[in-house]
Amino acid sequence: MKRILLVLALSTITLCGYSQKKDWAAFGRYEKANQEVLASGVRPDVVFMGNSITDGWAGKDPEFFKKNNFVGRGISGQTSSEMLVRFRRDVIDLNPRCVVILSGTNDIAQNNGKIKPENTLGNIISMCELAQANGIKVILCSVTPTSVFGWRKDINPAPLILEMNKFIRAYAEANNIYYLDYHPALTDEKGGLPAKWSHDTCHPNLECYRTIMEPMVCEAIDKVLKTPKKKRHTPMPVK
């Protein structure tokens, strides 16, 4: 009996220690980078908030971000809940003129368990309201297409993404927020990204970012920020 109690006690201590060390929302991911942005004294034009789609974008085409005074704050695997928790540190504190929010894929993949579409939308709405309350304009993106989650093959994401996008579009239109609909431009006949633009139907490659997503988001940013044509954010050409 004493041995069992000892094992339970040690297990509890281990779990407590782990929970204390775990940075659930990944505040630490961009802590240093945020300090550098603030120290530069340059206000970002745009912060891109998102998951692996945004994370991969900044990683694959850093010049696009640097050249246009954009800041990437995507974290692979994150759900809308995690993005909402870190929104103040990774967006509001940087005081950008605009935020591009791309969220929902990992909610559909149930990365943190099941969540109803209306609750995902609630997290996205909260991010929008936080931005607007702090004088930051919002561009709200559709969830990009996926026909299969490589890490959750038991889920059929294509119809769920369409449902989620209906929620996002309706909210954006009802609240005069720019809705950036990537989905029709990126979807193949199976409901995912075509092979020429992705290795897994989910994550865009550099050609996809530069050919499709960069021109679309630049057009949206120019409209929202009323950017003069001579200062247009020009995407890098595909090499």
Quick: pLDDT tens for 102-145.
999 999 999 999 999 999 999 999 999 999 999 999 999 999 99
Quick: pLDDT tens for 37-89.
999 999 999 999 999 999 999 999 999 999 999 999 999 999 999 999 999 99
Collapsing DSSP states into helix, strand and coil, what is residue 178? strand
Quick: pLDDT tens for 164-209.
999 999 999 999 999 999 999 999 999 999 999 999 999 999 999 9
Q: Are 201 and 147 in contact (CB under 8 A)?
A: yes
CB atoms within 10 A of CB 140: 26
The answer to whether residue 12 scores a pLDDT higher than 90 is no
Cα dihedral sign, 78-124-87-202:
positive
pLDDT attached to residue 216: 97
Unique residue bearing structure tokens 């909610």 = 107
Mean pLDDT of the chain: 91
pLDDT attached to residue 18: 39
Q: Where is pLDDT greater, at 141 or 233?
A: 141
pLDDT attached to residue 3: 54
Q: For residue 143, give every residue at least 6 positions away whose Cβ sits within 8 Å of its Cβ, in sequence order, or none.
A: 102, 103, 104, 105, 108, 161, 164, 165, 168, 183
CA distance 192 to 114: 22
